[in-house]
Amino acid sequence: MNKIAKYLNQHLIGSVFDSPQILEKYSTDRSVLKITPRMVAIPENTADVKKIVKFINQLSKKSVHVPITVRGSGLDKTGADLGNGLILSTEHLNDILEIDDRSRLVRVQAGVTLGQLNSALALYGLTVPVKADPRETIGGLISNFTTDNAAGKYNGIFYYVDCIEAVLEDGDAIQTSRYLRRHFNRKADLTSFEGAVYRDIDQLIEKNETLVKDLGSRPTIDAAGYQMITQVVKDVTKSFDLLPLFYAAQGTLGVITEVILHCELLPERRRRFIAAFESIGAAESYIQEIMPLIPEQLNLYDARVFKAAADHGKDPALFAPKFNKGYFVLASFDDKRRKLNKKLQKCLTLLPDNAAAVMETDDNTTDFERLNSAMISFLNNDVRGERAALIDDFYVPSDHLANFLTDLRTLEKTYGQELPVYGSFSTSNYNVRPDIQLGTVDGRQFVIKFIKDFQALVKEHGGSITGGAPEGRTKAMATNPALSEEETELYQKVKDIFDKNQIFNPDVKLGAAASSTVRHLRTNYLNDITTL
């Protein structure tokens, strides 16, 4: 065992490992990359996290650099869960500490998963209405800030987090809160590292007031860099909160250890409705008709997704007639029974004559569940290589979508493969899974070229490849060069204020380099089956 791991084991309740078998387990996430860490730490409590961070920071001051990568469930799609230093896994920081059902508040450790949390809240008739992978940790949902499919109605994880506890570079923990100016001044007067962070961020925003306002007024949604700096100071009250900076930061500013969230009442029931259309124009027209009904989710699928699944025996068996081309619209509603039934009937009433549709009932719920099986089949069956999560969570505004899909057909011809789109129309957040032959020279060249070409196409239509999730290592190959000098300088100063010694994920986001990213491309398939 190396000296650092041995020293930490002597001072932690949790454990630090450096055996090859364990390091291998933490060398991949959901991205196309593989990076083997030097060691893996699994802290048991916040005190362990503080000791780890403080020790690694002390080493960095002695020019011994062991970068810390915070990892939740390992589901990041951009390589942000990977690092060649120390992986700090929050898998044992998974306690639900307190549920206040009267105030609809819950306090959890950052490693609690969304599924675990909502299962516990359901006993109190509550839920956090975020439609993400139930294996995602609460800390991961904040750090990766992925737009979930129900965000069109429920506003996403940003709306439900009241405050966080985070361990900063010096090893001390802070609790975020929105402070009015008189309370902010007390924080800024502290002589600690926390006080310096408050002062420096406040001064940074003040000095870059015009740029920050410009970032906040842009119509394109983008999670690259630290654009949430626009939410730190509220214009009217001038109140101040560090919490927004941790959204989409991907563990580059500190380690989130605890979170307080507020909840919603658990819906009485949920019902789905799916309709098939021969063209995107017809699908969009229908979507505009049913959007006033405020569906919980409103998703759009290129029919070729389900055709590919059917070719492998995973036909959802819901569609009559079964279109091999065109688009499917899937809407779900979670209102009270009477209101829900009225909305579903309205969906049928608004349906054009040449469209096919199926409404969920108690008898066909299993058929609707088979949709997820079909998606898993599509993502994991491929004759050429792997449908990897290279360009997931990109944003295209709804008024550009039809033209974007037309131009995407041109890109399909360029690359000689189909690129069916699926995602959420209500959030304008979509996914494309190209076929990649990882481990080959052609595959490496494909990754670089495709990301840049796809970014150019999305940008041409007013969107962003990081509109639904941040850049990590992979998308940063395209987003970093596209940032203006002013933006890059602003974001780098945010990073430097929180992380002067660059111990937190320094090769992610602004620190990502194309040469390093390509060098770490996987040469094998992931061990477990990927989902949406």
What b-and-e string marks burial along 173-190, b requiring 16 or more CB atoms within 10 Å of the CB? Answer: bbebbbbeeeebeebbee
What SS3 class is residue 82? coil
Q: What is the pLDDT of residue 527?
A: 63
Judge contact between 166 and 68, C-beta under 8 A.
no
Q: 429-432 and 421-424 as β-strands: parallel, antiparallel, unpaired?
A: antiparallel
Q: What are phi and psi of 143, to 5 degrees?
A: -65, -40
Which two tokens mark 134? 């139930």
Judge contact between 430 and 422, C-beta under 8 A.
yes
For residues 143 and 405, give the distance between their C-alpha atoms in angstroms, rounded to a whole number: 30
For residues 48 and 329, give the distance between their C-alpha atoms in angstroms, rounded to a whole number: 48
Q: What is the pLDDT of residue 105?
A: 98
For residues 92 and 17, give the distance between their C-alpha atoms in angstroms, rounded to a whole number: 15
For residues 345 and 273, give the distance between their C-alpha atoms in angstroms, rounded to a whole number: 10
Q: What are phi and psi of 44, to 5 degrees?
A: -100, -15
Question: In the chain, what are the domains?
Answer: 267-381 (3.30.70.3450)
Judge contact between 262 and 278, C-beta under 8 A.
no
pLDDT along the chain (532 residues), means of 10: 92 97 96 96 98 98 96 96 98 98 97 98 97 96 95 96 98 96 93 97 97 92 95 91 98 98 94 93 96 96 86 68 79 93 94 89 86 79 73 96 97 94 96 88 90 97 96 96 97 98 97 92 73 50
Q: What is the pLDDT of residue 397?
A: 96
For residues 362 and 368, give the distance between their C-alpha atoms in angstroms, rounded to a whole number: 11
**DSSP summary character for residue 325:** S
Q: 271-277 and 327-333 as β-strands: parallel, antiparallel, unpaired?
A: antiparallel
For residues 327 and 278, give the distance between their C-alpha atoms in angstroms, rounded to a whole number: 6
For residues 225 and 4, give the distance between their C-alpha atoms in angstroms, rounded to a whole number: 32
CA 370 to chain centre: 25
Which two tokens mark 279? 């063209």
- 138, 139, 143, 144 alpha-carbon torsion, rounded to 10°: -40
Based on C-alpha coordinates, what's the Rg of the chain?
23
